[in-house]
């Protein structure tokens, strides 16, 4: 439906005031894409989880 997505986990676009706490993304197969990505996101707050490498 969307083709190849830019991340293996979470992708947010056009968001204001996004807060994520203890979010963990896993894959069943090896994936070299980033776990998370943001495009036009303001006020992003990340705590805990594994969204960064």
Q: Does 30 map to a domain?
A: yes
Can you give the residue range of the structural domain that contains 28? 10-47
Residue 18 DSSP one-character state: -
- The tokens describing 45, both together, are 């707050």
Q: Does 3 map to a domain?
A: no
pLDDT tens string 22-50: 999 888 999 899 999 999 999 999 999 88
Q: Does 34 map to a domain?
A: yes
Q: Does 5 map to a domain?
A: no
Q: Does 52 map to a domain?
A: no
What is the domain count for the chain? Answer: 1
Q: Does 1 map to a domain?
A: no
Full-model pTM: 0.76
Question: Coil, helix or strand for 45?
Answer: strand
């Amino acid at each position: 439906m969307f083709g190849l997505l830019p991340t293996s986990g979470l992708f947010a676009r056009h968001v204001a005031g996004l807060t994520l706490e203890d979010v963990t993304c896993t894959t069943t197969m090896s994936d070299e894409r980033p776990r998370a990505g943001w495009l036009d996101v303001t006020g992003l707050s990340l705590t805990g989880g594994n969204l960064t490498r």
